[in-house]
Chains A and B, each alone.
Chain A
Amino acid sequence: MATQKLTISLKAQINAIIPRYVEPRSAVMPALHLIQDEFGYISREAMEEVATILGLTPVQVYEIASFYHQFHTKPIGCHHLQVCINVSCMLLGAENIVSQLEQSLNIESGQTTADGRFTLSAVQCLGSCDTAPVMQINNQAYCEHLTGQRVEEILQRLREAPMGHRPEAFAGAQKDQREFTVAK
């Protein structure tokens, strides 16, 4: 497992977030998002560094990382397939999608393929019930109206894709460069 030493750039990005809040502690979630975007998951040493930056104890960072479903404290696959199994998707056959992926990838949901390419998760409502069944891959736009054939096509494309460690890290809101300090 590679070490997660926060780069100067990453530390600078975290520090730039702090002034957006009255309390530095509020920056813990944005900081963890930045780290996960960079490394794919959040290691113990990264949490310790975040704690130092924000003036918290390591456990105060760990309790955040462990509470929220979307923070990963262990490495996950390069392509994280998250299939919604809530009511509307379930009514429209989400179980078949999950079963198909489990068979095709030869893993159960919650597991990662031996080559580290895929992690499969059954997740709760993604908020796209009108286009059920729905799946989200990493931080990308939703794959909607899933059918067996579409799932196979998606898997084929992902199998051929290069295995970067996080090829599509989200470069968006948290990298907003505006500088301002909130009135305290």
Chain B
Amino acid sequence: MFEQTLLKNINTENYHQLEVYRTGGGYAGLRKALNEYQPDQLIQLVKDSQLRGRGGAGFSTGVKWSFIPKDSVLPTYLCCNADESEPGTFKDRLLIEKDPHGLIEGIAISCYAIGAKIAYIYIRFEFIYGTRILQQAIDECYAQGLLGKNILGSGFDLEVIIHRGAGAYICGEETALLESLEGYRGQPRLKPPFPAISGLYASPTIINNVETLACIPHIVLRGAQWFSDIGSPKGPGPRLYCLSGMINKPGVYELPTGIPLRELVEEHGGGAPNGKKIKAVIPGGVSAPMFAEKDLDIAMDFDALAAAGSMFGSAGVIVMDEDSCIVKVTLSMLEFFHIESCGKCTPCREGLGWVLKLLRRIEAGAGKHGDAQELDRLGEAIFGNCFCALGDGAIMALRGALGNFRDEFDYHIAKGHCPFKTESIVLHRTRATG
């Protein structure tokens, strides 16, 4: 029987307050880590747990930590990636707003493990409320000796500093986040060197997602075996699934990795509203190619999803019902990627603009014969030729739609209108800029 861990206390009143968090056993993980573990043992513990990153890439957290050089004369930094911006994802916001101390405790243990004395939390600008809650929680910790100098009498010092973003999806990419934190435009860096070797201020740096860090206290308290016994053997643990779109019960669900996507959307999410049939599901944020309804029996597992040509990503699950127009959804996704392209590399900056022009035309009923093939050709020119994963993600999303729902694109082009709605839409609205 699966037992909730990350969301166990999420509805406890005032759980964001230190006193309430401690009453529920909070900071016992930090105390245990500081008293019973050497940093190297903690890294081994997290490796043994087989925790994989919850932000998108799904890399082994313990292995990432072990890349920090042992003999470096430079300081080590931890950056908590709280720039949650992948469309369809809203789990980190929940953790930050309802359980900020769970995150801070995870940050403190992780910093002890990797030898960092400073942690920066890069939080997206729009999370105003969460930023306020998190800052209050940090202030409480300083007042109670849980942050600052000589934490819990252990001799371990740690400063935790919030750094607010300013509206840029690309800053969720770890090296763009570092650029932004250093006061530059949020554009990705060439890897290698990887941040663990040369990251923030050219020093060894670990960047971990909010949910990843929130798992750490539980692993310390309950052991690596407990964690690795949950869910998929090769990517175990509890996972926060975000259900949204055309679904009866949207929200954040904590369930093991590995559960079938169909069970997630049909049983937990209650299926599509108004008795409609589900047509397609995006499994891990918009960068993860969508599945058609017939393919929903797949396990929500890092490797199974990758083998099927999609990805676990941020576990942002978006459901489309039988009345949803896939062309319109694809247009919406590509508008997003184009706006958020940082402009550094040509395939992404220019290529996505071309893709978008074609999609706008098709969606508006003005598509020309050959436009779908042109989209294929552009995909080939862009995919694999971008500086970072943003452009590739855009093409993966496009291919997922074209591959599964080619007939809808062909219908729009041939008939000049949408089979689901007669009116054309204008999604390329603008934001106030300048």
**Chain A residues packing against B (C-beta within 8 Å):** 20, 22-23, 25-30, 32-33, 54, 60, 63-64, 67-74, 76, 80, 82, 85-88, 90-92, 95, 98, 108-112, 119-132, 136, 139-141, 170, 172-174, 176, 178, 180, 182-183
Residue of B nearest to A168 (CB): B128
Best-surrounded residue of B245, B246, B282, B328 (most CB of chain A within 10 A): B245
Which residues of A are found within 8 Å of B185, using beta-carbon distances? 63-64, 67
Known: A68-B186, A125-B88. A112 touches B432 (CB 8 A): yes
**Chain B residues with Cβ under 8 A from A95's Cβ?**
425-427
A69: chain B residues within 8 A (beta carbon): 166-168, 431, 433
Decide yes or no: A85 and B427 within 8 Å by CB, A29-B180, A129-B316, A130-B242 being known contacts: yes
The CA of A162 and the CA of B125, in the complex, are separated in Å by: 25
Q: Are A23 and B182 in contact (CB under 8 A)?
A: yes
Q: Which residues of B contact A141 (CB under 8 A)?
A: 128-129
**B32-40, B59-67, B156-164 - the one binding chain A:** B156-164
Judging by beta carbons under 8 Å apart, are A29 and B131 in contact?
no
Cross-chain pairs A/B with CB under 8 angstroms, 16 sampled: A29-B165, A29-B183, A64-B185, A87-B329, A90-B332, A95-B427, A108-B429, A109-B430, A125-B89, A127-B90, A131-B250, A140-B128, A172-B131, A176-B139, A180-B159, A183-B75
Decide if B186 touches A124 in the complex (CB within 8 Å): no
B329 close to A91 (CB less than 8 A): yes
**Is there a chain A Cβ closer than 8 Å to B361's Cβ?**
no
User: CB-CB < 8 A to A88: which residues of B?
Assistant: 87-88, 244-245, 318
CB atoms of B430 and A122 under 8 A apart: yes
Contact A72 B164 (CB under 8 A): no
A33 near B166: Cβ-Cβ < 8 Å:
yes
Q: From the candidates A63, A111, A125, name the one contacting B432 in the complex (CB within 8 A).
A: A111
Q: What is the chain A residue whose CB lies nearest that of B138?
A: A176
Contacts of A27 in B (CB 8 A): 183
Q: Which residues of B lie under 8 Å from residue A85 when comparing CB positions?
A: 332, 335, 427, 429
B37 to chain A, nearest CB (A): 23
Binary interface profile of B, 215-252, with partner A (CB < 8 Å = 1, else 0)? 00000000000000000000000000011111000111
Instruction: Tell me the chain B residues, 65-117 only, with Cβ under 8 Å from chain A.
Output: 75, 84-90, 92-93, 117
- Which chain B residue lies CB-closest to A84? B87
A residues less than 8 Å from B135 (CB atoms):
172-173, 176
- Taken together as a complex, chains A and B put the C-alpha atoms of A28 and B159 apart, in Å, by 20
| Complex: A64 Cα to B117 Cα, angstroms | 28
Given contacts A125-B85, A140-B128, A183-B117, contact A132 B244 (CB under 8 A): yes
Are B318 and A87 within 8 A (Cβ)? yes
B residues near A (Cβ < 8 Å) are 75, 84-90, 92-93, 117-118, 124-129, 131-132, 134-135, 139, 142, 148, 159, 161-169, 180-186, 200-201, 242-246, 250-252, 282, 286, 316, 318, 320, 324, 328-329, 332-333, 335-336, 339-340, 342, 425-427, 429-434
Bound state CA distance, A71 and B335, in angstroms?
20
Contact A127 B84 (CB under 8 A): yes
Inter-chain CA distance A20–B119, complex, in Å, is 11
Residue numbers in A under 8 Å from B86 (CB-CB):
125
Interface centre among A80, A121, A125, A183 (most CB of B within 10 A): A125
Asked if A68 and B429 make an inter-chain contact with CB atoms under 8 angstroms apart, the answer reads no
What are the 9 A-B residue pairs with the smallest beta carbon separation, nearest first?
A122-B429, A70-B167, A69-B167, A68-B166, A129-B244, A110-B430, A25-B183, A130-B250, A125-B87
Do residues A124 and B128 form an inter-chain contact, with CB atoms below 8 A? no
Tell me the complex Cα distance, A60–B182, Å: 12
Whether B429 and A98, one on each chain, are in contact in the complex, defined by CB atoms closer than 8 angstroms, is yes
Distance of A138 Cα from B247 Cα, bound (Å):
29
Whole-angstrom distance between the alpha carbons of A8 and B2 in the complex?
57
Contacts of A86 in B (CB 8 A): 87, 286, 332, 336
CB distance from B323 to the nearest CB of A (A): 9
Inter-chain contact A122/B434, CB cutoff 8 Å: no
In Å, the complex CA distance between A178 and B433 comes to: 34
Give bound CA distance, A27 to B182, whole Å. Answer: 8
CB distance from B6 to the nearest CB of A (A): 16
Contact between chains at B429 and A183 (CB < 8 Å):
no
List residues of chain A with CB within 8 A of the CB of B340.
124
